[in-house]
Amino acid sequence: MSKNFLLLILKSVRHRPLRSWLTVLGIIIGIMLVVVIFSLSSGIQTAIAQTLRMFGSDLIYIFPGKETNPLSSIVGGERFREKDLLALEKIQGVKFVVPVDAKTLNLEFRGEKKSTMIHAAPWKKMRLIFESSQGVKVEKGVWPQSEVSREVVLGYLTANSLFKEKIRVGDEIILKSSRMKVVGIFSKIGNQNDDNSLFVSLVDFREITGSAGSAFTGLVKVEAGADPNLLVRQIKAELSRQDVVRDFAVLSSDKVTRLIKDVLTIIELTLIVISLVSLMVGAIGIMNTMYTSVLERVKQIGVMKAIGASYDDILSLFLIESGVIGLAGGTLGILLGIFISYLIGLLAAGFGIRGVFSFGSLDFMGLLAILIVTFVTGVIAGLLPARQAAKMEPAEALRYE
């Protein structure tokens, strides 16, 4: 096929009426979804993988919400009573329990305001968990000595890149209108969520937020040699005595890992099914527009045949054209998908969750595969209309008005 033949096809694609292009919206939406899923899921998976690496194997997590759907705890708003969590310490094999709270709050430093995720727990227990189970150290400064000293420790990225100016040990920050002193900065933990957080004592957190005697989650440190699975069952039994949080999940770090991966897989599969349906709708759209196009150009098909176009020429002309329309839908879908992923990344960063999207993590081979798939989808959708066009008798086509 000559270069001129391809140029001829591109020229005819360029002069398609707007409504032909609108029919590829299905393809655009389908591909956009696929791109959003893949570009974000790799970011989310990286973030989760980093977080999971942090989960010490001697920890058990307690969340509000059903075990089969831990995400509901995020939106459910149910909170444990601190005393119910601390009561778990009497179970044999439990070294101690850390009530943990978290909230996104406004953080101000030298006139600049950002919203940041705040994690709160009693300092001593937090230090034990961080240092012994997660291997995280205070890199600069020290751990606060008192629960009521209005001192904070910053995640690595909060100190170094959240604000225009770096925050140093000794600086003052304003957390929801309360002045706090930075006494320490953590080493890089490796997960965006924690590195972008700010850590305060539970007492100070409650004073600032007004939440008293409750905690969002609990962390249980297991004694060396104790069986985490047995402890999970015992903790469940103990916690079912309280009646504040009816549905709760008690998960060993293994189970957390599996659950999160399962949920992500379900979300991915659902979105892939949706995007496949959109792709099919798009393909039907292309078929429709190609049939219309054949009807609109019956006379021109007759002319082209009269001046020497063969069956194969007309077939190629329409097939490549529908392929190009598919490809254009794919390209627009990819661009839109990347743009939306970027926006979601920005939005997530606004909530303190960073690294959800990065251009560097885009899978270019995957994007190329998407382009090939959309081209092939277009070609397949154009097959029947193109055959109809190619089979026309020139005289009959020339008579068509």
Partner 1 sequence: MRPPISKNEIENQLIFDPVCGLKIGDLADIPRVTRQGKKLIFCSKTCLDRFNENPEKFQGEPFIKVRGLEKRFRLGRIKIEVLRDLNFNIWEGDFVGLIGASGSGKSTTLNMLGLLDRPTSGKIFLKGKDISSLSDEERASLRSKTFGFVFQQYNLIPWLDAYENVILPLIFADKKIDSEETRRKFREINLGEQMIHRPFEMSGGEQQRTAILRALANDPEIIIGDEPTGNLDSETGNKILEILIKLNKERGKTLIVVTHDADIAEKANQIITIKDGRAIRDHQKHREIYTE
Per CB under 8 A, residues contacting partner 1 are 2, 4-5, 8, 11-12, 14-15, 299-300, 302-313, 393-396, 398
Q: Judged by CB, which is closer to partner 1: 303, or 376?
A: 303
Q: Judged by CB, which is closer to partner 1: 253, or 316?
A: 316
Q: How far is the CB of 299 from partner 1 (least distance, A)?
A: 7
Q: How far is the CB of 304 from partner 1 (least distance, A)?
A: 7
Q: How far is the CB of 6 from partner 1 (least distance, A)?
A: 10
Q: Judged by CB, which is closer to partner 1: 1, or 22?
A: 1
Q: How far is the CB of 394 from partner 1 (least distance, A)?
A: 4
Q: Judged by CB, which is closer to partner 1: 11, or 19?
A: 11
Q: Judged by CB, which is closer to partner 1: 144, or 385?
A: 385
Amino acid at 139: E
Q: Judged by CB, which is closer to partner 1: 288, or 300?
A: 300
Q: How far is the CB of 308 from partner 1 (least distance, A)?
A: 3
Q: How far is the CB of 326 from partner 1 (least distance, A)?
A: 20
Q: Judged by CB, which is closer to partner 1: 54, or 397?
A: 397
Q: How far is the CB of 39 from partner 1 (least distance, A)?
A: 37
